[in-house]
Structure 1
Amino acid sequence: MEMHDSGPAGAVDEGRERSVDLKRTLLLRVSLFAVAIGLVASAVVLQRAEARMRAHIERAGGAVERLLASEAAQPRDVFRRSLDGLDLSSLDGIGPLLGICVAVEDIYKRPAVRRCFGDGAEAPALLRGLLAALTGPDIAFRGVIGQYPGVKVGEFVVTPNLDSEANAVWDQIRTVLGMTVGILVLNLLVYLPVRRALGPAQEILAVLGRLQAGDLAARMPRPRLVELRLIASGFDHLVARLQQTLAGQRQLALRLLTVREEERRHLARELHDEFGQCLASIGAEAAYVSAAVEHARPDLLPAAQAIASVTGHMMESLQGILHQLRPVGLEEFGLHAALEQLLAGWRRRRPDCAFTLDIDGTVDDLPDGLTVSLYRIAQESLTNALRHGEPETVAVRLQRDAAGCRLWVADDGAPRHGDTTGSGLGVLGMHERVEALGGCFALEPVTPRGMRVSAIFPPDACHEEGAVHV
């Protein structure tokens, strides 16, 4: 059966609210604020220009009418109504100040003359079109040109000079655009130091990733920003306290494992020395009684044989208990031989199941605490696999290299009475053993059926100074 390393998958908690990038948010909001100011200011400039032109045309219309009347007041035939010679020269002085266009028609509605006064430079087409759309055809002053004695000789229309007005508005909008560009430049000048100040955020995230992976020795960088520096210092203090707490818990768990194994060793020794000798003595006495009564009292022979049979069964049970309490040959022959003997025992008891053992690396020189824990985990995993399922194959793989020591026990059985994943004192005991040595434990189903137990120990647990003697 193929086995793969299966580390604990760290669950990633996603916040309900969408995450915010402070630098990008700051840059975007200030930029949008600057653009909004520019658009609003430009709209205000256009609106004020439209209001100014509307009021200006009303005031300028009367002055234009008087000037045209004086220009048209020349000696003419009373029956001749003509605008010959009218060139609007009377408006040359005031026209550029008014920024208007004057169109004159004779009494027959024929165009006579049209002139525009003001800035002659061509205005931006887009801005001129906006002003034309804002003003429309209704901003105009219409008047009559008459001659003495009260003869109407023509009409005139005064309209805004859109090119002149557009140039004036464009000057104001350029000022607004300059302010907008200034705000954007200021935003950039603020963004750059903020980005530098928040630059260590990536290093902080990297440290958080190491801590999430279990590296409690990782420490936060010390950013130049005072607030981030205080946060990093407080976080390092909390991690140090957590590291001390976990170290204390690990020492306590190691001590509990030590006491447990010592109690098992003591109990196994007592059972072997006391009950084993007593049962051996009873068996010898039963054999002597059987030989003595075989001819003298044949009626007592079945009782003597029953005593011998029960004694033998008790000896076998005691041997099984002793093997559970303290594996035979684990200290004398090493972990490799002990695992071979463990699987050989199961092969005898379950000949219908195929057991395989794959050991990669040297495992007989591991510390006593890790050796006993690996054996106990394999022992408990095999017991659970054969007790709660009906596997056809069970594979045990033990690997040791520079990355540490890893044990996998996988089977293709299925639970008989529901899913028992993670339940029971046996699984809890395995979990405690692995955590006490600073490792990672996982119990997970495999596809299409079966379970897999994985115990991963760090490199320091594979050396004497990183383990406990049991």
Structure 2
Amino acid sequence: MRSKSLRFQITYRVLLFAVGIMVIGGAVAIWQARNAVEDEVESSINLALQLVKLGFSASPNPNIDATDWISRLSALKQTRHLNIQLQDDSGNLIDIAGGRESSEQDETPPRWFADLVGGDYPKVEYRIETHDNKVLTLVIQANPLDEITEVWGETRAFFLTICLLVLLIFMAVHLVFNKTLQAIETIVDALKLIETGEYRKKLPEFATQEYDSIAGAINHMTDVLERTRQKNRALTQHSLQIQEEERQRLSQELHDELGQSLTAIKVMAATAAHRGADTPKITQSITEICDHLIKVVRSMMQQLHPLILSELGLKATLEDLVEHWAERNPALSVELDCDDAVDTLDHAVTIQLFRVIQECLTNINRHAHASRVTITLAIDPARPGQLAVKVVDDGEGCHIEHVAAGFGLLGMKERIKSLDGEFSFHSRPGAGMTVEASVPIA
């Protein structure tokens, strides 16, 4: 299903709301107009009837002169909303002069409106006996045309007012909506630039508080992304530099150790070919040189990649690493508490964990001046699917902001993140440092 634009949805809802208001308002207006016409006509009929009765009660002779009453009824006939007639006992109408004439300038309401507002009104008959014993019938019948004309004008004015208000509301919504769309378009354009890696362009301040909050959050996000990109770029450059230094160091060791040793073996082999050479001594020297080369090659292989990690697992590799550090640094006590479950981890996970712990020991040896280090790898009891790694030293410690930008911690953090893990460290001057990581092992 194709999604509709926000402009269309809001305009559509505003129009539905306006139509609903007009329909409800029209129904209420017609209902009130109908009640008003009915009340007015009923009041006029009752008034005319009361006037007739009052005239009879005020007359000293109940037998009325027809000529006198006809003149009185001529004035009464001018009462609005009524048709007043006299009938004799034969049913013939008696003309009443002075009737109210409708103004030709009055606007006649539409037939459909008159049908909606009008109704069935009662016809009142009042019998009158004249002085010559004739019986006349006074007929009072409703004629609501004047009242319907008035309510038609009022209803039309009411509808025009509603239409004007709806138009004003629609215009106000349209103006506010245009301003809102401009803000949304600005934010969308900024997000498209962020998608391309342009983090330096900032969103402006908006007059609307909600949009200004969104702009502030996006600007903060771009600042964080820019800082992260700079850190990653620096980390990449540092990694490339370390790689080149490592290659240079290996090349130097190969040249100094292997090259010189192989040259010495070659010279000794050539010397052994001459008569009178001290073969046993030469053989012993070659053997010693070969033993030294074996140690050099093993050391280089250990630095490049610990083969024991693939053969015996992470726990044995860490125990070998701790033993190696104990030999090189007798003043540093390293304790290892490692769960046997680490040997079941994937090789990609174990090599990263090994490098993190190796980097921790290197940093402690270089900067912390610690005397005791505790390394713990165990399944987190609070989170069974997570392996908790913790390295604690009792060194000098430092302020977090002094080490947060260091490449060692940044490299460890990236290694843990590559495993979908969580990395954190805590330190303060004189209280050592704690490095913690949590890695999923499911």
TM-score range, shorter chain: 0.3 to 0.5
Q: Of the two, which has the highest radius of gyration? A: 2
Greater RCO (CA < 8 Å, at least 6 residues apart): 1
Larger fraction in helix? 2
Normalised TM-score (structure 2): 0.46
